[in-house]
Amino acid sequence: MTREALSEHFPASQLMRIAIETGTHSNWVRTHLAFLGHEVIVANPRELQAITRSDRKSDPEDARKLAMYVRIDPRILRPIQHRSMEAQHGLVVIKARDALVRVRTVLINAARGLAKTCGYRLPSCASACFAARCRAVLPAPLEARVGKLVDQIDQITQQIQKISTELGRLATENYPETARLKQVPGVGPITALTYVLTIEDPTRFQKSRDVGSFLGLRPRQSQSGKRDPQLGITKAGDRHLRWLLVECAHVLMSKRSPDSQLKRWGLRLCERGGKNAKKRATVAVARKLGVLLHRLWMTGQPYNPFYGSEEPDQRHEKLRVSSVSAGL
């Protein structure tokens, strides 16, 4: 799995159609083979049950089946479209930041837990302020032990701040369309940039509603005869972006979020009751949020929280004016 070995095995003098499965190496392998002039088809593994669930699975057998499929009709493989390496490099920075945030959370929880075992409690505060607040009240018996964790947390916080500044500069200079997406309450700079880098080309979708399926936020289907059960979402596409959209949906539906048509729709779903009503409503709002962001990106119009409907105050004002006109 090196560029030199691929160039030797697939020389540019012998152009061919190559089918590969999506995976960790598929993006740069596809880019390199396409640079050599080959036609590269990246197969969707969800459509390769004959390979993934075969009881005679092996690398030669998998390659033979891929070759047969791509020879008959490449559409059988439901080829996926990889993002460019430039966008991939931007996502690497975002996911590196996410890894640091997760590590910091683990260290903060460890520091709190170790302090509790000695009869102390560390102050409640935001993760970015934890190191400074903790040093101010850290008991002397814990300075030599928990203090080392606090130092690591402080260093990680500084790295997170540097990466956040870098991402902000990247969004402003290279991806100005992120400013349109940040108009929606709950959508911050990280989510907006991740959305733009993941989608990359908004024209690849014929309709904005297709984004929901692309992100794996639509329900699965297993209809047969009269049987059509309600299933969970497909969870296809980028997992990190899907998680960010769900987090944004939580913020959008919170009490402190401004009123909007999407928020009211999500709250009505919650009122239907049921054990998992709030979870289903949050996922549904996340799907509509992904569609809304694509629409704002494509049209370039300002965000209207009551698009397609009127706010109650506006309706009341129109009714009042109509009544006055009728009286005159």
Low-confidence ranges of the chain (pLDDT < 50): 315-328
Predicted local distance difference test score (pLDDT) of residue 209: 92
Residue 319 lies in a domain: no
Q: Pull the structure tokens for residue 208.
A: 């904005």
Residues 169 and 191 grouped into a single domain: no
The alpha carbon of 111 is separated from its chain's Cα centroid by a whole number of angstroms, namely: 30
Q: How far apart are the C-alpha atoms of 134 and 125, rounded to whole Å? A: 9
Same domain, 278 and 210: yes
CA–CA separation, 150 and 136 (whole Å): 11
Per-residue pLDDT at 135: 87
Instruction: Give how far the C-alpha of residue 83 lies from the chain's centroid of Cα atoms, to the nearest Å.
Output: 14
Q: What pLDDT score does 185 carry?
A: 92
Position 310 scores a pLDDT of 55
Number of domains making up the chain: 3
Q: Is residue 106 part of a domain?
A: yes
Q: Is 225 a domain residue? A: no
Closest to 254 in 3D by CA, of 282, 294, 273, 293: 282
Q: What is the DSSP string of 10-70?
A: S-TTS--EEEEE-SSSHHHHHHHHHHTT-EEEEE-GGG-HHHHT-TT--HHHHHHHHHHHH
C-beta neighbour count of 209 within 10 angstroms? 15
